[in-house]
Structure 1
């Protein structure tokens, strides 16, 4: 019996994983997909951003699926595969600090699920910084070397393009470049890791033990301008900021806004008001633990 295809979407914090998945889900491909979303922290912002009208979206929170909640991922994926009818496709969105080689091996334990095809989303505008950052360079390299496919976005300058192409040629010359998830889904190639490629699953220190996440409650008297100012003034050591707030812009009715910052780039955009109300007024920050504890 043929297994259900699995796509594992990897990439560092703010690299465009959710955008990549939503572009695929909005396309008229006729497939029913179940999306498992792992976020690093106590609340899962990304799960609320998945636009999966034809399938199911399942949230995995409070840890990274490749270690601290690995059992939860396996249990959830096995439960999905026991349903009838099965989904046509399973998509796993990894947390930004996850190692995809670990996750893909964990998913080999799910009966009826094909070996995961790893797609890594790369923000070219941040690639040079990530590749040379003492806290994340190893993780960034792992996410690219573990990929079967790489989707490069935000090539904002010729320098961005030259750097990421050189980096990919050096570290992942066989990896297929794609523009969207449909190319990974339609590919005839299969990802079947060998024993010699098995990642280190020792219970010692992992890269993501080096990251800290905090949940900040937005004061009720804060305006959208206050939130934007606060986010902009956060130290550069904060690598990712995301959350939902309710408020209004001058002359506009009240709405729900997605607050996001990737490194120093801030965006505040109106979003769907049907999000989980328990998420409102909460902003998550993620930073290297060493920088937080100073």
Structure 2
């Protein structure tokens, strides 16, 4: 009865506080956020342009890179413009439907990112362990189908979050102590039993993400076993460096994402500032690092960048 009297179907808008506890520093904190966002946008846009215009790069590895670049652009752009508007211009209000979009977009795109990293690990495994069969196994058709599966799985797993939240009544409070509409922060404003929603969140975190981590780990273990059998030390060292870079990017997303997700449920003693900063890091750092690690460290793309900037062959 009390919940029904103090709740409505949904509010017209919410109020995002930004980074509570660092109000006096928010203006300056926005500058590194903006710099990372600019690097992510410019780097991934350049990567997409290079892959689109260079026909020699229309191969499975680079098509996966293009898909990852699109994911990075949408992932960072779904939240960062609003975060910067809050920190610089105090534009704290966000519409209900825009907030629901922020609830679903990062989760969906993070799921897509997880599968992209798994697909790229598969590509590297096939290229190193079965080099003569690489082009016949990962054909353009197979890559296109895998890309469609990636998007479909992200939508299927994340859609229930948005659907369940949209059907719940909200309390009178519209204040979200975050810099964007994070799912669990929005769920705390609901005047209803949210155990199903929380339980589904835990299921997705531990089953889907856990499965991805296991598959990626097995892939890289098999890659490393194949690398250790290479006769040339230089080729072995180069492949080790590539795998280490890929693993660093994967950890840069998985660790902050899991920390953010689990802190909402179990980390009641974690300072709110730490939680909010981690929530922003996992949406900014991987999109910024991906074009550097996957793009610049890839010789064909690096050579193409040098030719475009200097007008001569490297």
Q: Rg: which structure is higher? A: 2
Higher strand share: 1
TM-score (structure 1 length as normaliser):
0.23
TM-score (structure 2 length as normaliser):
0.21
Higher helix share: 2
Q: Which has the higher contact order (CA 8 A, sep 6+)?
A: 2
